[in-house]
Amino acid sequence: MNLFKQFFKSLYSPKDIALFRFQGIGKTIGYVFLLTLLSVLPTIYFFGTTLKSGIETARPVIQNEFPSFKISDGQLKTNSNVPITVNKNNFTIIIDSTGAVSQTELSDRKDTLAFLKNKFVISGGGRIQAYPYSMLNQVKVSNKQLLDFIDGIENNITTIISVISVFIFLFACAASFVEVSVLAVIGLFLRNLTGKKLNYSQLWRMAAYSETLPTVFFTIMAVLQTKVQNEVLINWFVAAVVLLLSIKEIPKPKNKLD
């Protein structure tokens, strides 16, 4: 059975997930990569569109509507005592040197670029990325230098999005393997509760496929740009339930008579 057939079976069939425990570990690892790619596609897409829209909107806003500012010693400094918010073409740009606006407040915003007191934040597609000014390594940035920087980003936008997309995918892969490994540990306790004979390697394979249903659900929510409350808890709960149902599909070992 190829990975795509396994994907559809894993959405509804704990019995098939139980059978996957016998397959090679390499195929299961490949499946984790496939599932991770699916989960990050909305993030990559919305990040790319947000960055493009932001660059197109930012130049005239910085030229005509932003106060004079500079970034030095890891902090944004302006001559304004209040945060400034500009809405253009369904896009929001914020500049705040006062510290009044926090990154948390931006998490529910769509298509937003924010120059906060200590960091630069991009919010879009239900995801948020933050980059501290300390990354500039003591380099001072002003309005003109920022415009030059934006021109540089615009000229290399495809390469920048590609590189960031690779980093997003690699980070998500690392998180996925950790998650599957922890779920397999939970599977050891579920195995003991059900009295089934399974080793950790088999449970790891089953755990990987048990992640399919919650991954697809949260990917759909990401596409719809819908925030789900208690996302982490729901993800773990659904994956653990699917794993438990899969474990229960495995027949108990027969007692040998003396």
Structure confidence at residue 35 as a pLDDT band (50, 70, 90):
very high
Q: What is the pLDDT of residues 82-114, one digit of tens each?
A: 888 888 777 888 888 888 888 888 877 778 888
pLDDT of residue 41: 94
- Determine the Cα–Cα distance for residues 80 and 66; give it in Å rounded to an integer: 10
Q: What is the pLDDT of residues 138-197, one digit of tens each?
A: 666 667 777 777 777 778 888 888 988 999 999 999 999 999 999 999 999 999 998 888
Do strands 91-95 and 112-115 pair parallel, antiparallel, or not at all (unpaired)?
parallel
Contact present, 94 and 115 (Cβ < 8 Å):
yes
Torsion region of 99: left, alpha or beta (phi above 0 gives left; psi -120 to 50 gives alpha): left
Rounded average pLDDT over 28-40: 96
Structure confidence at residue 137 as a pLDDT band (50, 70, 90):
low
Q: Which of 3-12, 71-80, 136-145, 201-210 has the lowest mean pLDDT?
A: 136-145
pLDDT reading at 238 higher than 80: yes
Q: Name the residue among 12, 23, 29, 47 with its Cα closest to residue 181.
A: 29
Residue of higher predicted confidence among 46 and 25: 25
Residue of higher predicted confidence among 220 and 108: 220
pLDDT of residue 255: 61
pLDDT of residue 140: 64
Structure confidence at residue 258 as a pLDDT band (50, 70, 90):
very low
Q: 149-173 as b/e, with b when 16 or more CB fall inside 10 Å?
A: ebeebeeeeeebbeeebeebbeebb
pLDDT reading at 256 higher than 60: no
The residue ranges of every structural domain in the chain are 3-44+163-248, 51-155
pLDDT of residue 245: 96
Give the single-character DSSP code of 99. Answer: S
Indicate the pTM of the whole model.
0.78
